Structure 1
Amino acid sequence: MSRIGLARQRPSARQGVGGKVTNQNSPMKNYKVRLLPLLAILGCLSWLSGCQQDEVNAPPVVERFRLLDPIKKDSTFTAAVPGTLLVIQGKNLNNAVNVYFNDFPAAFNPVYNTAENLIITIPAQTPTAVTAPKVSNKVRIVTTHGEGTFDFTVVQAPPVIASISNENASPGDSITIAGANFFGVSKIVFPGNLEVDSTRFRPNREGTLIRVRVPANMTQSGPLSIVATFGTTTTPAPINYVTGPGVLCNFDDVNTFAGWSGTASKDATLFPGNKGSFGYLSVKGIVGGNSEWWTSGRSINVNETQWIAPANLKAPVSDYALKFEIFVKTPWKTGTMLITPNRDAKPNSYTYRYTPWKIGTASVDFQTTGWQTVTIPLSEFRTSNGTGDAAPSLEALLGAAGKNQFQMMLVADTDGMGEVSIGVDNIRVVSNKAVK
């Protein structure tokens, strides 16, 4: 027998010890082999979950501030004026509870709050270095999982003119300019480039009022400007404007007064401080519910004249306003002045209900110490005797030619109307669009 034939065979790869055959594809071994990758994946997921949990519990991080406007979404900045709508971008911004600009709380809609974005408006009342020199110049974001403080400067906004007490005051008279952000004002520029420097006026502490005297040599009409450290603002409409396009009646050289129950006069003792003639309404008392505007000095009527040039009738209704000066000598506390561009009122005619004695739901005695300017945006004229829908266009309000009449009339409410004496002058339609 050959040696080869006597040699003992080594167990093959498919044999166990003692030559027993084993099966490498047994269910148990396959289970173990397949389980290893699964355990590895589960381990990674657990690690990632832990990382994500750490991020969720981490304090907020701000990476940049940008404008919400999609056209300007690539803009980034570290300073803005109050009233700016911006997007705070970063990490862990979700579940925000409070946001503060210079320690002043800012409201926001949680619907627009995600882990990466927070949309918010800087409050108009946010203090700045001008109003509070020791402001922090910080934004503080408080979330349910932490808080953070970040550098951001709220800069003072430019001045804003809301109204002028008398836009047609005589030279030398004092006027009050109301608005906001009257800080660092260096001068006020009247028509004719007449400058009044800051040594001749002083804004109030809140920066909302300036009392100043009209230059004695002012003869021109034009806009008024306020020049300040943080910008310049200009009135959209001219002051000292008594003649020109849009002037419906000044009772002097533009005298379209149609008479009726009101009166025109130049007697300065009736309503002192005016320039030239004026119209006035005077009633001794009206029974409640009496709407007979054509009797007892209760209306001023103006013949048809050009309100707005035809070329401008496609502009938004809100771009224009009706203005006039008024002098109320006796306390006015009931009744309504209806103002309309059409004397032949119809259900679809547009009317404004002027009731200056109403302040919200309260009633006060309205009386002026002299002439003051009334401004009524044309967008406030409504159908149904002033209580219905606003005019959708200037053509709907005035007609295709932009011409119409004008009427103001006193009517009594259910409570009636006591004695009232009202002077009116310089009825005009002017631009109400802010100058940019």
Structure 2
Amino acid sequence: MKKTINIWLLLGFLISSFAFFGCEDDDNPADSTPISVKAVYLQDVDSDVPDRQVDFARLGQVLRIEGSGFNGVRRVFVNGYNTYFNPVYVSDNNMLIQLSGETPIIEAEEEVRNTIRFVKTGTELVYDFDIRASSPVVSRISHTLPQAGESIVIYGSGLTEIHKVVFPGDVEVTEGITSDEEGEYAIVTVPDGLTEGGSIFVEGSNGGAYSPAYFNFKEGVILDFDGNGQQGFWSWSEDGSMINDEDLKSEVIGQGNLSQGTYVPHRPDRIASFPINSSRNTEVWTAGNDVDDWRGQLTPYIPANTPVNQVAFQFDIFVPEAWSESGFLKLCLHNSFNGGEWAGDAYNYVPWVEDGEIVPFETDGWITVTVPFSDFYAFSGTDEEYTFEDVLVAREESSYKNFGIYFENTDFALSDITGNDSDATEFPSSETSVDVYTDNWRVVSLEKPTYTDFPEGGEQTEEVVE
């Protein structure tokens, strides 16, 4: 790790080191000289302020402690943890310490939490100083288009002791928040009065973090079966694959996060089961040509030059009983697929395969699925930098501009999912009557504000850098 060592500090050490090490005996006056701390500075050679005064620090960071009486310090305890320091970097007025990754944070005893204790043979000092773990991160949200009064789970890391959640439109919640002790999630109830979409901000003992800007983003809805967007269907028959408006459902289903109005069953009541190794079992589409206008609807919010890994298709899903071993949803960017493809402007969603293993997929209530367009096969290559413009053009150049979802029940191999030919595990299909429901199809941005401890060139604060 790089460390910033001030030249004057090294010179100061060279002057004082002989007295410090050569006179270690019971009568060394330095052992009883009072210790004082004037300020704490973060040493960071990668910053525009490499020696920055701070009032908190995170594990792994290097600190310069400025004060007096450091000659003779034998031990330093951070949050009660015996923290190594190199005596070479100690003078009477300064010392360097690096905060160990083993330092306890929320596990620290209350009386030693957020303290640095300097110990000499004849005296000691306890200095109050805020110690934090690594910066928190929000990785996903269980439901990004929930109803007021429902609970959502905010997943990530470092989400300890979350005491504030701010929803888009500066709607703030400070009560009733449940945090995981390991910092992997926080649970909060969605408040009334949300009218804007964007990022959720969370703040806890490790600082703050933002979610991607996809919460409550109703401007991105392309089809919700309740009037936003338009469903398209043709060539319907009693035993055919096409799902029309009569196949839709509106009974309230789910627990916790409930259905919202009308939604689509991907196995309508008229179909008892899907046969083995069969494709395009059912299909549901937007209206397409002369109706869908992704460029006009979406680019005011998501610029066309946005990288494809920062734009996603989202939908809400409910699977009331375990789904495993057979079947998947094919997301079709436009209507030009015969079924069974693992290539092109499509993506096959197989939630019951995790890390190459079958893990039954089931939900208590409705949850949100997020599929970046960089996962669609046509845009997944790393040899070209695709943008949202490429997605828009692919739709605009298609003869049939309907966006749709198939249920497919074909055989496939793990290599189809991973793209790695060495993943030879086979997943043969079987007859299935699984119930899978979706709703609220939408296109969203995955970009999020950057939350930084240190605005460039300024003193330590916590702020958003757009």
Partners of 1:221 and 1:185 in 2: how far apart?
Answer: 23
Q: Which letter maps to 2:211? A: T
**How far has the Cα of 1:348 moved from its partner?**
6.7
After TM superposition, list the pairs within 5 Å mapping 1:334-353 onto structure 2.
334=325, 335-345=327-337, 349-353=344-348
Please list, as runs of the form range in 1=range in 2, the aligned pairs for 1:391-410 lying within 5 A after superposition.
392-399=386-393, 405-410=402-407
Contact 2:316 2:369 in 1 (8 A): yes
1:377 partnered with 2:372: yes
For each residue in 1:11-57, what CA deviation from the matched residue of structure 2 results, as whole angstroms up to 9, or x when unmatched?
xxxxxxxxxxxxxxxxxxxxxxxxxxxxxxxxxxxxxxxxxxxxxxx
Distance in 2, Cα, partners of 1:289 & 1:163: 33
Q: C-alpha offsets along residues 266-297 of structure 1, whole Å, 9 cap, x if unaligned?
A: 4224567222222220164434432x31x4x3
Say what the alpha-carbon RMSD is for the aligned residues.
4.5
1:370-422 deviations in Å (ceiling 9; x for gaps): 110111122211139x8998872323333178795422212222622411211
Any idea what the Cα deviations from partners look like across 1:158-199, whole Å, max 9, x if unmatched?
A: 43222221222222222222222223422223345433223x
2:354 aligned partner, one-letter code: I
Q: Pick from 171, 181, 186: which aligns with 1:210?
A: 186
TM-score (norm 2): 0.58
Tell me if structure 1 keeps the 8 A contact 2:212–2:445. yes
CA 1:426–1:381 in 2, change beyond 3 Å: closer, same or farther? same
Among 264, 280, 301, the residue aligned to 2:285: 301
Deviations 1:232-276 (A, max 9, x none): 33332243333x2x3211112213222362355342245672222
Q: Residues 309-388 of structure 1: matches in 2 within 5 Å?
A: 309=299, 312-334=303-325, 335-345=327-337, 349-383=344-378
Query: Does residue 1:187 correspond to 2:172, yes or no?
Result: no
CA contact (8 A) 1:328 1:421 kept: yes
Residues 232 and 71 of structure 1: CA distance in aligned 2, closer, same or farther (over 3 Å): closer
Correspondence for 1:289? 277
Task: Report if aligned partners of 1:382, 1:388 keep a CA contact under 8 Å in 2.
Answer: no
- Measure, in 2, the Cα distance between the counterparts of 1:87 and 1:381: 45
Q: Structure 2: which 5+ residue stretches go unaligned?
A: 1-40, 65-77, 84-97, 117-128, 234-240, 412-426, 451-466
- In the other structure, the counterpart of 1:232 is 208
Residue 344 of structure 1 aligns to a residue whose secondary structure is coil
CA distance in 2, matches of 1:268, 1:157: 45
Amino acid at match of 1:383: A
Is residue 329–residue 407 contact of structure 2 (8 Å, CA) maintained in 1?
A: yes
Contact 1:130–1:183, Cα closer than 8 Å, also in 2: no
1:415 aligns with 2:428: yes
Query: What is the aligned partner in structure 2 of residue 113 from structure 1?
Result: none
Q: Does the 8 A contact of 1:340 with 1:407 survive in 2?
A: yes
SS of residue paired to 1:301: strand
The CA distance in 1 between the partners of 2:42 and 2:188, in whole Å, is 40
Unaligned runs of 5+ in 1: 1-63, 89-100, 106-119, 139-151
Cα distance 1:77–1:233, how it changes in 2: closer, same or farther (>3 A)?
Answer: closer
Among 249, 262, 267, the residue aligned to 2:250: 267
2:138 maps to 1:177: no
Match of 1:252 among 212, 222, 226: 226
Q: CA deviation at 1:324?
A: 1.0
Decide which structure has the larger Cα Rg and report it: 1
Secondary structure of the structure 1 residue equivalent to 2:436: strand
**Percent identity, aligned pairs only?**
24
The answer to whether structure 1 residue 277 and structure 2 residue 291 are counterparts is no
> 1:237 is paired with a residue of what secondary structure?
coil
Shift of 1:351: 2.1
Distance 1:192 1:286, change over 3 A: same
